Amino acid sequence: MLTIEGRRYDTGEPVRITTRGDRIADIQPAWPTGAVADWPWVAPALFDLQINGYGGVWFSDDTLTPEMVLKTLQPYYRFGVTRLCPTLITNSQAALEAGFHAIRTACEQSDWAAQMVPGCHLEGPYISPDDGARGAHPLEHVRAANWDEFERLQAAAGGLIRLVTLAPEIPGAIEFIRKAVAAGVVISLGHTAATPEQIRAGIDAGATLGTHLGNGCAAMIHRHRNHFWEQLADDRLTVSLITDGHHLPANLVKAIVRAKTTRRVVITCDAAGWAGCPPGVYESKLGRSEILPSGKLVVAGQQELLAGSSFETDVCVARMIDYAGVSLKDAIDMASRNPARLLGFPTVRLRPGDPAELMVFHYRPGDSRLAVQAAVGGGALRFGEIGKNA
């Protein structure tokens, strides 16, 4: 049983939260002896749908082992993330099967990993082959949508694949979307050069998310007839945004949030395997990348084409507040409740009976990130310290 004291992220009320097992058992008012403003905030822990790796390890690496998976997952507790979707990007069938099998095995061997990984994200290989839309995904492995191939991936993953990003215009995409949705897999549209009509066809078939809207697209598109406006305007579609300070400018983030509302926006950091590494040039089988002194992660040899992010989810939450002018509550909900609801997992609203997925942190307006003091996942203290531990 854990006892946590802090200010509710949604009301600012000082409370004492007691957990029992993997659930919140009780929430009661509390009375600080000092200034209320000195108390940390307590909020639902973060749930990131798109994490590619950490510290030099990529989930897409064909040599991935269960031990590497555990080593890569654990650091995210420090950033308030207690649930995430390991993301495998465009690669050979053999490499993807090996990666998903390693993740599955890690979850079978470790209870905390199984709790942290409620599902996996397959980003590609069923995406646009066009430069710009393809992003940093390797062209040699981009291919048409293939349901039989996906079923082999799902078998290797033990059913863990819960989210697939694809381009709706590629051969076989619409039928793939229908089959995936019928099988309980969430489909996201991304890395696409689709026409508005093709975007609508994808949504009509069952797609419910747009992957990192504003990225993974050509630099030059028609000013009116394009996939961006169609995704932005369709209320059936939630969109994810990478608010790391490099992927999107502040004015665009603000405009997207105003159009979609905070309920239909998901914050992701899209952390690359190089996240957590110092500035420098790095190379893997997926290509050469460089972390610039600013933290911007790019394809090596230039400074514009992005290769993912080197920042974590808590940074993206803080920058969403600055960029879009939303409240602390709304920003955290976009990185916790919204992704959980999208994938059909339990959400946390700080009520008795809710899952004990919590973070304790300090934050003041203008801070560059959340200063996470503790993270509770599955009812257990996974990182840091809390005021009381009964």
Positions marked catalytic:
270
What angle is formed at CA 218 by the lines to CA 216 and CA 223, rounded to 5 degrees?
Answer: 120
Cβ atoms of residues 360 and 373 within 8 Å: yes
Please give the Cα distance from 87 to 95 (Å, whole number): 13
Residue 388: half-sphere exposure toward Cβ, Cα within 13 Å? 13
Which pair of tokens denotes residue 318?
A: 């803080």
Cβ burial, residue 184 (10 Å; 0-12/13-18/19+): exposed
Cβ burial, residue 300 (10 Å; 0-12/13-18/19+): middle
Q: Which residue reads 């420090």 in tokens?
A: 78
Say which residues have a Cβ less than 8 Å from residue 236's Cβ, sequence separation at least 6: 203, 208
3-state secondary structure 63-82: CCCHHHHHHHHHHHHHHCEE
Cβ atoms of residues 53 and 273 within 8 Å: yes
